């Protein structure tokens, strides 16, 4: 998977797990955080959500 797909997967998982994120600002913060991670970090994080 490329970086954008991993970001989307992880972001979706985070939103599903934490429905309390109601503001657009919070979701932008998550996306910005994920974009700062390198591809290996994203892969590791995505494995945690998939398992």
Which of 32, 27, 33, 1 is closest to 15 using CA atoms?
A: 27
pLDDT tens per residue, range 20-34? 555 666 778 888 998
Spatial contact of 43 and 37, defined as CB atoms under 8 Å apart: no
Residue 18 confidence (pLDDT) above 70: no
- The pLDDT value recorded for residue 39 is 92
Task: Delimit the domains of the chain by residue range.
Answer: 3-50
- The pLDDT value recorded for residue 19 is 60
Which helix (H) or strand (E) segment holds residue 43: the answer is: helix 39-50
**pTM of the complete model beyond 0.85:** no
Kindly provide the b/e burial profile for residues 1-17, where b requires at least 16 CB atoms within 10 angstroms of the residue's own CB.
Answer: eeeeebbebbeeebeee
């Amino acid at each position: 998977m490329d970086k954008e797909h991993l970001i989307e997967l992880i972001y979706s998982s985070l939103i599903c797990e934490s429905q309390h994120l109601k503001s657009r600002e919070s979701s932008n913060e998550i996306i910005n955080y994920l974009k700062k991670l390198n591809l290996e970090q994203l892969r590791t994080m995505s494995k945690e959500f998939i398992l």
